[in-house]
Structure 1
């Protein structure tokens, strides 16, 4: 084991407790000064993985002060390192005499598995929730309403500078600076707000990267952000929900389908989400039963809120009189109709009632 490069240091005494770092793993270990050699160097001893190590002291630091959890104040923000991840949350060492626990609900809103958000050895910023009864409870979420008032009036497309502070499987955390300066505020950039379909956030963003963002919302006391290129949805916002547009399946997920939707105001297509509940006017258990990557669909815009393009493949709901059709239901009687829209899993048809009257829209499945 070879220690890292030597640092300037004052003389040590035998028995002094210091922390030493080794290049092997970059970790710091608590060590005891054993003796001084003839050439003025100090030898230290420390334990690692059940073994006792002895080698010259070069890179060192004074052991970090361990705070008593009773001295910590509610709301205090501290740096720490994740030491263990469980199904219920994670343990974090913040330099106190006890490790703190971050419950899964305090990692971030909407987290199903703690292991998807944090890992052992990860450096995190936490906030003290409580430190009573020998238990230290922490949160990785910003304080409710923290610094958000100033951002509420910036949902007009104002560009802001942000720094990526943490990469998560579902998105990225960033600190955002107001145009007039002041205390930076933590915000969250979801995958869906990165301008295109993203499989790995690491392929788009990196830790410490400076980016331009826009405010999506400040709902639920959380600052939601989007990368600059992901909010140009003005074209789609102006479309009526009865305008059908062509789209191509880019990715299929259990909760819906990501589509590549052409946008005349942009050189590249925009990623839209077709929720599973909007795929058809009947229950869809698995989107893969209806579509595959590369399929072309006809969809209509039903929402552009919070910088997300949401579409539907369902027919427009109208109050239709189905009484004339009930009389022929289940019979081998064919009706005249005209195809209105076609998809890979069927077609929408305007059908004339047997006895005449107002036509209604129906769906014919390929199977």
Structure 2
């Protein structure tokens, strides 16, 4: 029985293709079998027919082992037909749900595609491919069933250890190349054009002109970018200088304002009446400063709270604005109380106060 005759029978031996072989590459890759075959006694039925090649490649992309046998009308090919393919172990392996097999005659147009794809030389040849990049081409003159069994078993063991998606990219690429070749009816690509020295010279000149123009454009662009960078740097420097000048001016203004306030505080403190001696109408005021220092002074009970504040500002002329507060009872004296007398505020005959930053939350601290 020749391989040519077997290929003519192949179109009617395998029946319908289902699962991944129906063209649904994105479907469930775990369904089995990938390329089902009839469970008959005819060994030819384990091979898919030629019109099912696309489905076989799709099954390969879903993790099946791809087997392609290319045979001729010679003794070695006849050995495959008589000895290898009918072997029961090989039949069992080829019927495995993870095997997709093709059998081609050397005269079949598709043979050129597979021979080119896997660099097949002498025939017959048995191609076994699996996984993302593994492939073996067996070309022995008299291939033994044991070697075929060993190679198929190795491929199936490897596939079993891989996820079904491991061969997606390789299978898709193989299918794309196969479809492209089928559109040419598997004819070899057109021969390269006849060498034309003049055309090559013109092309070389055009290429050199294009390269020179591109280089010139790149130089001009680089010069423009450099000029823009210099301009941006100068502008940034000018902006930085302006910002620094503004900050310096603001700092100078703030310093001048602070100095004016300091001088004014000192003047007000010096303008206060002399501290009166202890008497019934004299209030004794003790204050803990924000620095933790305790100071005290006597004031007439008719003196305003502002006099106490001006005395304290004279002691700490550089301090921030503050209010006075008492702990027992808890009370905060704000700006509205500055013109009230010490007596009216309950700060007579004695008062124990502490300084508190204005708008700062009251601290739970007591006087000694």
TM-score, normalised to structure 2's length? Answer: 0.20
Bigger strand share: 1
Of structures 1 and 2, the one with the larger relative CO (CA 8 A, separation 6+) is: 2
Bigger helix share: 2
TM-score, normalised to structure 1's length? Answer: 0.20
